[in-house]
């Protein structure tokens, strides 16, 4: 079974595309209005260095991109994927954002434009809501006497499966297929595919494979390579066909194994019958070795 790390990797692979990244930002932050365009995004290095205990450590974001247009000189958007709630997530996000601000504060960068850092946490669970802290105040144990002097930090968390249907249908990229899947599984406990054409086929099918633990999605990739205007309906047809094919193969193999076992059993019984006839074994001993009752064993000797 594939773990959360592999799910995380496949989500990163899909979101690295500018059309998907921009789509997520536009829907979640701008209510579907096309504010962020694909050509206004530039990949940012996912790793940043942090000095702790006299050692240099590197921390990695999932996905990060710089955004700039005519009105906004520069902003940084980061996406963090979570398939399970994590208690210390506010600290992680605070660390990512803080490290980026520290970088801007360095003397060698004093001529650069200062820009805001925005991190979105995307939660992909559909069986339960996010039930862990969403801010530093919820996470930390703070004495009330010092609380007024402690700065809170709130995560921007979006529970994709729990978005309104109207909000989900604002997605225009392949991310809609994931969001639609999560929503349907939460509401109906079942997934009925739509006829939306898949843009990033390999990445989407790898993601579906990881999210569903059904590796037929992944196995179908080679079968649909090069096919134009592929939809999830067609993919599911192929996935189902693969299931039937595997079922038949499994049935044949099981029949072959049972046939071999039956042959071995018959051969053993024939040997035991010969030993009984030669007076080497009693019927009761032979029946015991064949894992049968005496009455059952006699049925073979009487044939």
255, pLDDT greater than 80: no
Most confident of 115-129, 221-235, 237-251: 115-129
pLDDT at 248: 46
Report how far apart, in Å, the C-alpha atoms of 283 and of each of 268, 269, 288, 290 are. 14, 11, 9, 10
DSSP collapsed to 3 states, the chain: CCCHHHHHHHHHHHHCCHHHHHHHHHHHHHCCCCCCCHHHEEECCCEEEEEECCEEEEEECCEEEEECCCCCCCEEEEEEEECCCCCCHHHHHHHHHHHHHHHHHCHHHCCCCCCCEEEEEEECCCCCCCCCCCEHHHHCCCCCCCHHHCCCCECEEEEHHHCCHHHHCCCCCCHHHHHHHHHHHHHHCCCCCCCCECCCHHHHHHHHHHHHCCCHHHHCHHHHCCCCCCEHHHHHHHHHHHHHHHHHHHHHHHHHHHHHHHHHHHHHHHHHHHHHHCCCCCHHHHHHHCCCCHHHHHHHHCC
pLDDT at 208: 79
pLDDT at 56: 44
More confident residue, 135 or 296: 135
pLDDT at 70: 61
Which of 53-57, 135-139, 189-193 comes out lowest in average pLDDT?
A: 53-57
Q: Give the residue-averaged pLDDT of 74-103.
A: 91
pLDDT at 285: 80
48, pLDDT greater than 70: no
Report how far apart, in Å, the C-alpha atoms of 100 and of each of 46, 58, 93, 117 are. 11, 12, 11, 7
Hey, how many other C-beta atoms are within 10 angstroms of the C-beta on 133? 19
Most confident of 20-29, 62-71, 268-277, 286-295: 20-29
Q: Give the residue-averaged pLDDT of 79-97.
A: 92
pLDDT at 252: 46
Average pLDDT, the chain: 81
Q: Give the residue-averaged pLDDT of 206-233.
A: 79
Say what percent of the chain tops pLDDT 90.
40
Q: Give the residue-averaged pLDDT of 117-130.
A: 93
Say what percent of the chain tops pLDDT 70.
80
- Two structure tokens written together for 228: 């134009």
Give per-residue pLDDT as tens, 224-244.
877 888 888 888 777 666 545
Give per-residue pLDDT as tens, 157-196.
999 999 999 999 999 999 999 999 999 999 999 888 888 8
pLDDT at 303: 66
More confident residue, 302 or 245: 302
pLDDT at 88: 95
């Amino acid at each position: 079974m594939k773990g959360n790390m592999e799910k995380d990797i496949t989500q990163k692979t899909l979101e690295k595309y500018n059309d998907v990244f921009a789509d997520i930002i536009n829907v979640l932050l701008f209510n579907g209005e096309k504010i962020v365009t694909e050509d206004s995004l530039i990949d940012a290095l996912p790793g940043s260095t942090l000095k702790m205990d006299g050692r240099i450590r590197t921390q990695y974001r999932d996905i990060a991109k710089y955004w700039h247009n005519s009105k906004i000189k520069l902003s940084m958007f980061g996406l963090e994927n979570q398939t399970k709630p994590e208690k210390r997530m506010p600290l992680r996000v605070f660390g990512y954002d803080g490290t980026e601000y520290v970088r801007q504060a360095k003397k060698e960068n004093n001529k650069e434009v200062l820009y805001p850092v925005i991190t979105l946490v995307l939660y992909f669970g559909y069986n339960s809501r996010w039930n862990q802290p969403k801010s530093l105040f919820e996470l930390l144990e703070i004495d009330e006497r010092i609380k007024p002097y402690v700065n809170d930090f709130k995560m921007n968390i979006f529970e994709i499966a729990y978005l309104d249907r109207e909000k989900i249908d604002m997605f225009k990229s392949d991310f809609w297929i994931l969001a639609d899947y999560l929503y349907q599984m939460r509401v109906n406990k079942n997934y009925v595919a739509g006829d939306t054409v898949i843009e990033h086929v390999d990445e989407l099918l790898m993601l579906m494979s990881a999210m569903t633990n059904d590796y037929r999605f992944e196995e179908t990739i080679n079968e649909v390579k090069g096919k134009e205007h592929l939809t999830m309906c067609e993919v599911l047809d192929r996935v189902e066909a693969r299931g039937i094919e595997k079922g038949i193969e499994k049935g044949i193999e099981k029949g072959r194994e049972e046939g071999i076992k039956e042959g071995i059993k018959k051969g053993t019984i024939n040997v035991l019958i010969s030993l009984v006839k030669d007076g080497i074994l009693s019927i009761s001993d032979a029946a015991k070795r064949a894992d049968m009752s005496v009455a059952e064993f006699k049925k073979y000797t009487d044939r």
